[in-house]
C-alpha cells in the first residue's frame, strides 16, 4: 500500500501505525479487533482501519499479499465497460457463449454449472472449478449509469503463485470484452 495515501487518509505512516498497534498489544488480537481498535479508539476511518489492519498483519507475518484474514488466497481483476450493468452482464455471457468455449478457465474445468444471482445493486455469476478454486464475477453500475464495473474474483487459491497466474489470465480474458 502506498504510504502517502495512508498518511493523507489517517495522518500517520504505516510504520507509525505498526508501532502504535504494537504498543496497544495488537499482535494478540484477531483481525476484527485490530480494525475496531483503529476505528473506535484511534479514529481511523472505517475503510482505512481495514487497510491499516491488513498492512499490520503483513508486517508481523500473519498474512501474505492476497491472503484474507481467514487464510484464503484470492485476487480480483476488474474492468469498466460502457453501458448498464445488464449490458455488461450480456457482454460477459456472450463472451462465454462465443467460440463455443469449453466449461473451463485456463484449462481448469468447471466443477458445476455456473449460477447467476441478482441484487438491486449487483449481479453475481459464480462457478466452482475442479481444482477447488472458485470464480465470482460481480457486475455493478458506475455512478451516472453510463458505465458498469465488471470484477472477477478468483478465490480459494493455493497461494501467491496461483494469484499471479490467475491475475494474468483474467487481465487477458477481460481485455477482449
pTM above 0.85, yes or no: no
Q: How is 118-152 classified by DSSP, letter by letter? A: E-SSEEEEEEEBTTS-EEEEEEEEPTTSSEEEEEE
Do both 53 and 94 map to the same domain?
no
- 89 within a domain of the structure (yes/no): yes
Do both 110 and 162 map to the same domain?
yes
- 64 within a domain of the structure (yes/no): no
Residue 145 cell numbers, joined: 449509469
pLDDT at 36 over 80: yes
CATH number of the domain residue 100 falls in: 3.30.530.20
Q: What is the C-alpha to C-alpha distance for residues 77 and 102, in angstroms, rounded to an integer?
A: 22
Do both 45 and 126 map to the same domain?
no
Mean pLDDT of 137-153: 95
> Mean pLDDT, the chain, as a whole number?
93
pLDDT for res 71: 85
Q: What is the C-alpha to C-alpha distance for residues 10 and 16, in angstroms, rounded to an integer?
A: 11
pLDDT at 32 over 90: yes
Q: Is the dihedral of CA 48, 52, 57, 61 positive or negative?
A: positive
pLDDT for res 176: 84
Residues of the chain with pLDDT > 90: what percent?
A: 85
DSSP type of residue 78: E
Do both 85 and 164 map to the same domain?
yes
Domain that holds residue 133: 73-175
- 66 within a domain of the structure (yes/no): no
Q: Sheet containing 147-157: give its strands across.
A: 73-82, 147-157, 134-141, 122-128, 115-118
Of 37, 59, 81, the residue that ends a domain is 59
- 65 within a domain of the structure (yes/no): no
Q: What is the pLDDT of residues 43-88, one digit of tens each?
A: 999 999 999 999 999 999 999 888 888 889 999 999 999 999 999 9
β-bridge pairing 73-82 and 147-157: antiparallel
Indicate the number of domains in the chain.
Answer: 2
pLDDT at 23 over 60: yes
pLDDT for res 104: 92
pLDDT at 163 over 70: yes
pLDDT at 154 over 70: yes
Q: What is the pLDDT of residues 120-140, one digit of tens each?
A: 899 999 999 999 999 999 999
Do both 54 and 77 map to the same domain?
no
- 163 within a domain of the structure (yes/no): yes
Q: What is the C-alpha to C-alpha distance for residues 149 and 131, in angstroms, rounded to an integer?
A: 27
Q: What is the pLDDT of residues 89-120, one digit of tens each?
A: 999 999 888 755 678 999 999 999 999 999 98
Amino acid at each position: 500500500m502506498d504510504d502517502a495515501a495512508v498518511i493523507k487518509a489517517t495522518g500517520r505512516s504505516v510504520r507509525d501505525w505498526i508501532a502504535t498497534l504494537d504498543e496497544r498489544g495488537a499482535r494478540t488480537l484477531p483481525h476484527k479487533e485490530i480494525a475496531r481498535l483503529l476505528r473506535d479508539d484511534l479514529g481511523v476511518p472505517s475503510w482505512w482501519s481495514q487497510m491499516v489492519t491488513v498492512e499490520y498483519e503483513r508486517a508481523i507475518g500473519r498474512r501474505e499479499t492476497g491472503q484474507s484474514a481467514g487464510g484464503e488466497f484470492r485476487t480480483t481483476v476488474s474492468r469498466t465497460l460502457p453501458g448498464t450493468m445488464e449490458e455488461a452482464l450480456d457482454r460477459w455471457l456472450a463472451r462465454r457463449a462465443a467460440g463455443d468455449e469449453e466449461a473451463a478457465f485456463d484449462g481448469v474445468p468447471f466443477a458445476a454449472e455456473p449460477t447467476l444471482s441478482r441484487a438491486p445493486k449487483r449481479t453475481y455469476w459464480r462457478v466452482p472449478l475442479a481444482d477447488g478454486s472458485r470464480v465470482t464475477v460481480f457486475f455493478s453500475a458506475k455512478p451516472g449509469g453510463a458505465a458498469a464495473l465488471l470484477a472477477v474474483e478468483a478465490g480459494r487459491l493455493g497461494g501467491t503463485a496461483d494469484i499471479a497466474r490467475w491475475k494474468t489470465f483474467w487481465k487477458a480474458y477481460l481485455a477482449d470484452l
